[in-house]
Amino acid sequence: MGKKEAVGSWEIDYRIHHAIMIITNRETYQKTHTMKTIKTLALLAVSILLMAGCTSKKEKMNEELKGFIKKHDSLMVPLYKEAALAGWNASISGKEEDYKKSEELQLQILKITSNKESLAKLKEIKISGLISDSLLARQLDVLYRAYLLAEADTAKLNTAVRMQTQIEMKYSNFRTEVKGKKISDNDVEDILKNSKNTEEQKAAWMAQKKIGPLVADDLKKLVKLRNEIAKDLGFKNYHSMSLTLSDQDPREVSKLFEELDSLTKGSYAEVKGDIDNYLVKYYGMKSKDDLKPWNYQNRFFQEAPKIYDVDLDKYYKDKNLETLASTFYAGIGLPIDEILRKSDLYEKPGKNQHAFCTDIDKEGDVRILCNIKPNAKWMNTILHESGHAVYDRYKDFNLPYDLRDPAHTFTTEAIAEMFGRFASNPQWLKDNAGISEDEKMKIADNALKTLRLEQLVFSRWAQLMYNFEKSMYENPDQDLNKLWWDLAEKYQLLKRVEGRNEPDWATKIHIATVPCYYHNYLMGELLASQLYYYIVTNVIRSEDFKFQSYSNNKAIGEYLKAKIFMPANKYYWNEMIEKATGEKLTAKYYAKQFVK
């Protein structure tokens, strides 16, 4: 107890006496009440005083937190916007000076959230347990986790940011070179996907993997530095810290992945056998033993090869994917024209070759980066990124600034993935790409098989990524080249290239720039299925889970806005899911849709 709170026994006696005199008639108190009554009244008075004291302390703590938030927002709001714009510009230009500016602004943000005095104040407020307002309590929780890095060594944090920026710049500017010609990642994917010349595939695959040795050593150093930062904060390693600070229990996530491994293992082995049988015939090989990683039509075998007799690309080759996405989202009451106007959707020299959505100011300026080509993959991507975008665009901007984020990163992935799936949905193709009813029925079975195959292939790829990063951060000095292919064989049933000992793990940009994140994609897929079944049953009011496209049904947009987007980060993610679907996150709908 502090000096200001200390009181003598005389003062307590006086307060009790004074309170009794107020509560009762003075004359009655002095002449008629027994000592028992007096003691009862005294206890009542003490209770009232204690409650009054607690109330005053609560008010004090609430006001202190409000003051902290006001100061935090005054610093963070303009800086966040400036940093988001700088990162956006760097991703488009690929210029060193733009990446440098982005890095400097990230360091300024880091300086705010690594302030030890700020963390001490948040700890004091949190430990008091006196924040009764639910919205304030949620803000406190979000801010406290954001400021926990204040206990880390500032020099280490700054070094980590600089190292990541340098590595990211190498990825952004790397171009695969085949026969003296530099080609984009899109070009590499086209060769792997469409060429029947296995030597051409091998050349493109091998050339693209050359980014690995360029970043591997720096990436290992960054992994070790991230671990140092995590251990300074009392965490086992960076992987454990990342999940914990993102409001996830590492043990629960691992348990979920073990469950999904068991759930998908048998079905995946079956479809992997179908893939191998198909590819052996497709390439004119003698046996499955001849298949190599580059024959699976993707750099990482994270997407399913085309093995069913349906060419989804042909439905998009003469279409404007931007227009298709815009028309679809407008039809469900979530227009994206304003978002697309500010976006950058097509290839440019130096531009980031991947795709993402960014919320510039948490006030409605939302943008998408893509490198669109007229094919099914990019139709999926633009629908996916637009899903992220509408989540950010249709939040409740009356919420406190620090709660204007999705309930969790995987909940926004769920929305993006739910919409991305429509690119290979035969009903969606009929409603949006203009194929006929006859064509829809002709491709329906194989299109739905393709979607199932895509999900199973991706689920096993996500297992590889999750378990690789988990193991890498547990022991970054182990043979990571071997670990990568051990896990590829275990989860993807993909045979390693005999005699190859290269850092193929380092060719995956997410390991450097979005570490310990991939599990959120698979958790998002679970929620996407859960939301899909809820919407079909309760919003569309149908029992047909096969032929649904959401098209021209504004009730779907209204439901998503009311139950998912508007609440933003007001609730803990599983509480939000339960409010939206009547159940906490479950794998049963994903299994119902894709496994059984």
DSSP string for 143-184: HHHHHGGGGS-HHHHHHHHHHHHHHHHHHHH--EEETTEEE-
> Tokens 């899911």 belong to which residue?
577
Confidence at residue 160, expressed as pLDDT on a 0 to 100 scale: 94
* Main-chain phi, psi angles of 162, to 5 degrees: -65, -40
Instruction: Reduce the DSSP state of residue 546 to 3 states and report it.
Output: coil
Per-residue confidence in pLDDT tens, the chain, 596 aa: 333 333 333 233 323 333 333 333 444 334 444 555 555 555 555 555 455 555 688 889 999 999 999 999 999 999 999 999 999 999 999 999 999 999 999 999 989 998 999 999 999 999 999 998 999 999 999 999 999 888 888 899 899 999 999 999 999 899 999 999 999 988 999 999 999 999 999 999 999 999 999 999 999 999 999 999 999 999 999 999 999 999 999 998 999 899 899 999 999 999 999 999 999 999 999 999 999 999 999 999 999 998 999 999 999 999 999 999 999 999 999 999 999 999 999 999 989 988 999 999 999 999 999 999 999 999 999 999 999 999 999 999 999 999 999 999 999 999 999 999 999 999 999 999 999 999 999 999 999 999 999 999 999 999 999 999 999 999 999 999 999 999 999 999 999 999 999 999 999 999 999 999 999 999 999 999 999 999 999 999 999 999 999 999 999 999 999 999 999 999 999 999 999 999 999 989 998 999 97
Confidence at residue 35, expressed as pLDDT on a 0 to 100 scale: 54
Angle (nearest 5°) at CA 229 between 226 and 231: 110
Can you give the residue ranges of every domain in the chain? 3-151, 166-240+256-299+319-595
CATH number of 166-240+256-299+319-595: 1.10.1370.30
- Token code pair at residue 321: 């994917």
Confidence at residue 56, expressed as pLDDT on a 0 to 100 scale: 83
- DSSP assigned state of 451: H
> Tokens 């909940």 belong to which residue?
411
Confidence at residue 6, expressed as pLDDT on a 0 to 100 scale: 33
Confidence at residue 44, expressed as pLDDT on a 0 to 100 scale: 56
The alpha carbon dihedral of 70, 74, 75, 81 has a sign of positive
Q: How far, in Å, CA of 201 to CA of 296, rounded?
A: 10
